[in-house]
Amino acid sequence: MPPKDGRLVVVSNRIPTGATPSGGLVVALHEALSARGGVWIGSSGAPREVPASGLYEVGQGPYRRLAFDLSMEEHETYYLGYANSVLWPLFHRRADLIDLQPGYAEGYLAVNARLADAIVAELRPADVLWVHDYHFLPLAALLRARGVKNRIGFFLHIPFPAASDVPALPQADDLLDWVAAHDVFGVQTEADVQRVDALVTRVEGDQQRVMAFPIGIDVDVYREAAGRPQVGAQIHRAPDQKICLGVDRLDYSKGLVHRFEGFSAYLDQRRSTDPRAIMVQVAPPSRGDVGAYQDIRDELEMMAGRVNGRHANFDWTPIRYLHRMVPRDDLAGVMRLADVGLVTPLADGMNLVAKEYIAAQDPDDPGVLILSHFAGAAEQMQEAVLVNPYDSIEMGEAIAQALSMPLEERRARYAALLQTVARQDIHWWTQACLAALEDGAGAVAGAV
Ligand code: ADQ
């Protein structure tokens, strides 16, 4: 990497406020900022009745953290509205769920413009900016309009939409300019790169690079946590009972209803001599203020009731559904106990749970990952049992296959998957993204 004389300026939706950040991405950004110094800018979290007008310092440490407040109205229009009721469904192939309301686009642009003004006041000429996710798509274009010449990179954590879906966005033409304003536009997969390329026409001399950087996890931390005996990670089951596990935010993109249908299809085709399986689904609440999220919760609870009503016995309730957060270490322990990890989103930028499940396995007796073709992770994790989440019969068969898979095959698949997950871990990802951002000329060409 070339010498770094400028600071790193990271912009992300939330900034950690505690002294020791947790979570793979947060820790990786924390480490990158601690190593070279810089500034982390993000929203303060809860909206305020009386928001502060500019950026203000939070916490202390080897780099600065600057927060901005959202007003109640901005929380409605920018965050719940344009970001999570327009961009999120559109980018996850659910244009039917887009909720276009007056004021959403204006609120989104106004928050980004306010942030651009605040950043201009902070920025030094040699700084490099690294902007995260769909909350800040127009930020680079707004900074360019204010004369900012610094290198600006972006990382999109969610899928990039297909060109045929983009016209559902009233700001479709602007989206092209927003993307084009970055020096490096990072996405999760090669398929995303192709979708960006299908939309953004290149002009000669264009220096912009659109590159795939599949995000990873902190494998060692996860493996270690999973190997420790966890008090919270006990699952009551009969000795012959197998466990299928799902862990997702309660979000329509994660395909939870389809997953329950797939598990129900497994139960339908199960012979009486086959192992009895229980499905544990952990799904913490998420964005409960958005209507589409209330609907998915109702639908899922109804589905769990229906499957249990149909298949349960006095000593066996097939689906256990926990609607809450679980501490990371307990989650790792539960993942290790699970014979099958079910990661079956309908659309997902990457999906870190797929990688966490692999890292958590006992190498001598690993479980089997069932992974949707529509998770970004499927591009790297071909040794998983890959499924079409819309086809419940196929998913039922995949569960049957996974539950009876011989140890040798389980080990072979696990070893190949672990190698990929460990090679392109969160540290690799940070380095690869930053190297591309620092260096104009293809230092990490072929990053995938
Ligand atoms: P998310 O949509 O949030 O992230 P994901 O990648 O699966 O999806 O990450 C979720 C994280 O939350 C995982 O680390 C998981 O362990 C944790 N988690 C889930 N359920 C939990 C529970 N009940 N209790 C505690 N923790 C829980 C977005 C994109 C993804 C992309 C990531 C990172 O949608 O596609 O992989 O960003 O880029």
* Tens digit of each residue's pLDDT (9 = 90 or more) over 228-268: 876 666 778 877 889 999 999 999 999 999 999 999 999 99
Q: pLDDT tens for residues 65-98?
A: 999 999 999 999 999 999 999 999 999 999 999 9
> CA–CA separation, 133 vs 158, rounded Å?
7
Give me the mean pLDDT over the 95-116 stretch.
97
Is 30 considered catalytic here?
Answer: no
Q: What band does 444 get if pLDDT is binned at 50, 70 and 90?
A: very low
Tokens 């979290």 correspond to what residue?
45
Index of the ligand 1 atom closest to the CA of residue 254: 2
Lowest mean pLDDT among 133-147, 154-168, 324-338, 412-426: 324-338
Amino acid at 364: D
Q: What band does 429 get if pLDDT is binned at 50, 70 and 90?
A: very high
> CA–CA separation, 95 vs 99, rounded Å?
9
Index of the ligand 1 atom closest to the CA of residue 23: 14
How many angstroms does the Cα of residue 350 sit away from the middle of ligand 1? 9
Is 157 considered catalytic here?
Answer: yes
> CA–CA separation, 276 vs 239, rounded Å?
10
pLDDT at 61: 85
Taking CB atoms within 8 Å and a gap of at least 24, the contacts of 26-33 are: 27/218, 27/426, 28/218, 28/426, 28/427, 28/429, 28/430, 29/430, 31/427, 31/430, 32/8, 32/430, 32/434, 33/8, 33/62, 33/63
Which residues have C-beta within 8 Å of that of residue 398, sequence separation ≥ 6? 262, 370, 385, 387
pLDDT at 77: 97
* Percent of the chain residues past pLDDT 90, beyond the cut: 75
> CA–CA separation, 239 vs 166, rounded Å?
51
- The single residue of 251, 329, 348, 425 carrying the catalytic annotation is 348
Q: What band does 441 get if pLDDT is binned at 50, 70 and 90?
A: very low
Index of the ligand 1 atom closest to the CA of residue 356: 16
Q: pLDDT tens for residues 355-388?
A: 999 999 999 999 999 999 999 999 999 999 999 9
Give me the mean pLDDT over the 136-146 stretch.
98
Q: pLDDT tens for residues 183-196?
A: 999 999 999 999 99
Residue nearest to atom 38 of ligand 1 (CA): 157
How many angstroms does the Cα of residue 396 sit away from the middle of ligand 1? 24
pLDDT of 1 above 60: no
Give me the mean pLDDT over the 325-344 stretch.
94
- The single residue of 157, 182, 258, 311 carrying the catalytic annotation is 157
How many angstroms does the Cα of residue 310 sit away from the middle of ligand 1? 31
Give me the mean pLDDT over the 325-351 stretch.
95
What pTM, to 2 d.p., does this model score?
A: 0.95
pLDDT at 236: 80
User: Residues lining ligand 1, CB < 6 A?
Assistant: 25, 157-158, 215, 247-249, 282, 284, 325-326, 331, 348-353, 356
pLDDT at 49: 87
Q: What band does 50 get if pLDDT is binned at 50, 70 and 90?
A: confident
DSSP 8-state secondary structure symbol assigned to residue 276:
E
3 state SS for 386-418: EECCCCHHHHHHHHHHHHCCCHHHHHHHHHHHH
Q: What band does 6 get if pLDDT is binned at 50, 70 and 90?
A: confident
Substitution candidate for ligand 1 out of 252, 322, 324, 350 with most atoms within 8 A of CB: 350
Residue nearest to atom 8 of ligand 1 (CA): 351
How many angstroms does the Cα of residue 249 sit away from the middle of ligand 1? 7
Substitution candidate for ligand 1 out of 218, 329, 351, 358 with most atoms within 8 A of CB: 351
> CA–CA separation, 274 vs 270, rounded Å?
6
pLDDT of 4 above 80: no
| DSSP symbols for 82-126 | IIIIIIHHHHTT-GGG----TTHHHHHHHHHHHHHHHHHHH--TT
Q: pLDDT tens for residues 170-179?
A: 999 999 999 9
Q: What band does 35 get if pLDDT is binned at 50, 70 and 90?
A: confident
How many angstroms does the Cα of residue 351 sit away from the middle of ligand 1? 6
Q: What band does 3 get if pLDDT is binned at 50, 70 and 90?
A: very low
* Percent of the chain residues past pLDDT 70, beyond the cut: 94
Q: What band does 276 get if pLDDT is binned at 50, 70 and 90?
A: confident
Give me the mean pLDDT over the 41-57 stretch.
89
pLDDT at 20: 64
> CA–CA separation, 139 vs 93, rounded Å?
24
Average pLDDT of the chain to the nearest whole number:
92
Taking CB atoms within 8 Å and a gap of at least 24, the contacts of 271-274 are: 274/400, 274/403, 274/404
